[in-house]
Structure formats: C-alpha cells, structure tokens
Structure 1
Amino acid sequence: MKKLEFQLTTLKRQTLFLQLALPVVFALGLGLGWAIWGRAAAAKPAVNIPEEVRRYDVPVDNAPALGPADAPITIVEFSDYQCPYCQKWYDEVLTRLLKDYENKIRFVYRDFPLPPSIHPEAQPAAEAAHCAGEQGAYWQFHNAIFSNKYMLSAQAYQKYAEELGLDLDAFNTCISDHRYKSVVEDNVNVAFSVEVGSTPTFFINGMKVVGAQPYAVFQQIIDKELAGEIQK
C-alpha cells in the first residue's frame, strides 16, 4: 500500500509539474499580471503592487524556520535542493534579506522536490536535511547542501554530517529508515494546496512570488507590506 501511495504521489507531482511549471512565462501570483520572460526580470525589476492582492493561507506547521515567530513578515519558500534557480536565490538574496530585515522576517523552508525523473537527488537531500535536524543541525546541513553546488549524493550527505560532527550511526539509521519521507511528502501536499507548481515559489505574508526573483523585488514587496500599503 505504501508503495502504491508513493507512486500516486509521484504521478500527481509529475502531472502538476507538467501543468504549471513548463510555460516560459510565469505570473508572480500577486494578481498583478506581472510577467517574466526568461531572465529579463533580473535586469531592472519594477513591481507595480496594487493595494489589494490575493493572500494564500500557507501552513507553517513545524517546518524549519529562521527569525522570530512574531516577525511582521513571514516568507515561506517551497524549494528543491537540486534546483539551480533555488541555488541562485540562496546565493544572491536570502542572506541579504535576513541581514537587512533582521528581526522583521521569519523565513520558513518547505520541501518541494521535483519528481525523481527530473531531480533524482531532491527527495534524498531533503530527507537527509531533516535527519540532521534531529541532532539540531538542520540549517547547518541545509547551508552545506546549497554551499556545495550540485554535490548531491549519499556520499556527500555523509561528508556533510561528518564535518558537522553529527552522530553518524544515528544519522545513517535515520536516512536508511526514510524517517522523514512522509514529512517531505506532506510538504509537497501543502505545496499542491496553495497552487505551487515550480521551484522556487515564495509566499510573503501569503502573497505568492514565483521564481528566483532578485533582491529588489522582495525588497519592494516587504517595504510596502511593512508600511501597510497592501490591504490584508
């Protein structure tokens, strides 16, 4: 039964990916009609944010988070460790946001591994990060994955765990037991529920932003939200 459930989940993921992730033009999902063609938006983004936009109710649950729980801005990212655009956003935007908006942002990370036929290491990497989290090293492991571009394999996860001083027996048992497989799959189901079809996808206080948008896009939305210029 579990095998059948996994196959159905994978099929559902593949179907949704084909439906939502393949078009070249992505709407940013704020109900704005923003459009991006390839990488053109990175040059000089101009975000015309209306006073009222759609806000999704995105569950945070017990997902890994950085920043105070009562921060005025919550950013939820649905991401994939094997996604090059997720890597790009991690490198160019995340650290700067957390620094510039210290104590004003709560950053929540939720897994959305693309199907194994597309990204075979995305699910194993996500499970390994949660296994590291059992020993209080989720974010250190998360950073190790994104800091070592495209080094995704069982051997790499072992190396990161060793470098972080984790109990390797406990870590390896967690991985071999697939202890967090259901957690990752639950994240995928949450992604489906809020119409996520590609990575990375973000929700800024419930407002959807699709793609590895540059810092300026996030800055404009966050500043307007903090100033109360966007209706809730």
Structure 2
Amino acid sequence: MLKLKQFILPNISHFIRRISTSAQLRHEESFVHRDSADNNANTPFEFTEANMMRIAAIIQNYPEGAQRSAVSSCVDIVQRQMGWVPISAMHKIAEILSMPRMRVYEWCTFYTMTKRRFRGKYNVKVCVTTPCMLRGSDIILQAVEQATCCCAGSLSEDGMFGVDTVQCAGACANAPVLVVDDDYYEDVTVCDVQNIIQAIKCGNIPPPGPQSGRFSCEPICGPTTLCECPPGPGFCIQPALLK
C-alpha cells in the first residue's frame, strides 16, 4: 500500500502579490456641472458681432452637416471673449452648431484648457510634471503663490490672478515652465517669477520665451553638435567613383 506523502504548504506570504500604488491626481474641477449664482443656464451670454463673423467663417471650412467640427474653435472664442466658459455659452454653441448640448459638455470637461469657472484676469499655470519637477517646479509654485497672494486652485482677493498647476505644458526642454494665459515663460527662476508677476501688476506684459538668454530650446551650454563646417562634395567616397 502506497504511503501518502506529507505535503508541507509553503509560507503563504510568498504568494501574496505585492502591489505598489501612487497617489491619484485629480483635476480640481468636477466633471459634473453644478449650478451656481454666476454659472447657470440663465447666465447672460451673447457672442459679439465680430465673434459671430469669425464663427460663420470657421463653419464654412466644414462640409454641410459637419459644422459640429467647429466646436473647439467656438469654445476658444467664448473663452477669449469672457475669460471662461459658462454653461449658458455651451448652450449657445450647441444651438449655433446644431448639435446636442451633451456633446459640448463632453468637449469642455475633457480638455483641461477650458476654464469652466472664472480663473482671474490672468490665469497663471505652473507645470509640475517630471521634467519641471526635477528642475524645481515646487519652488516655482511657491514663488508664484507668494507673488500673487493666492494658493494653487484659488483666486487672489482682487480677482486679478488665478493660480493652477498643470500636467506637461509641452516645453520640457525649457523646464521649469510658467504659463500666463497664452504666454510661455521658460527656464524661470524665483527672481524671474517675481519680475513677471510684478510687471503684470503694473499693467505690462513681460516678453515671453526663455528667461535664461537662450533663443529657443537649444542646449543651454551652447551648441554641442555640427560645430564645424560640413565637408565638401566627395567626402569619404572611393577615388574610383570620382572619375
């Protein structure tokens, strides 16, 4: 009769999967609209005559029945006219483009560049993604909050500044990056932040671009390749082929 072997179960902790998680990053705004005193279906909004002409010209770029493709341009025009996009403006866009209101809601809640609440006369955005973080974006954010007198996600008391953090401003080679409305300020330092905010307070718009002196996104230490004149015709070609 065969003897049953005794099986010893190994330590069960060896089979427990080790799971590592990181903190969740959430957008500061809810995707679901909540009526407020200044943002509801009755909030007054009408396109200016000039903007209506712009929208009519944009719609002509699309075939008949596909005018909803102009929704992104219409949302941008609203934001440039008002500084933000209330839900009443979304309704107006849906009416002009003959599309369901829900489709406009979807667009505005998906793209974070759409401001669905007032974010100040000047919206200051600090990039906090990895390249900027490695170059000191946390210190830059602190300098912005101190210079504007408001914390990230809030407004200054006079409504002049609204500070936000963003994920990848798309100028990683020029980190850290500070964006004021449509203007990019790159290679910024704490002193640059103070000078930029102070100039805006005085009614000026500082020249955008790299603040370090470089022209674009070339190496900050200077050119490292193609520093010599290129060789002439016939370089490294066999002599027999030159006959």
TM range (shorter): under 0.3
| Relative contact order, higher structure (CA 8 A, sep 6+) | 1
Larger Rg: 2
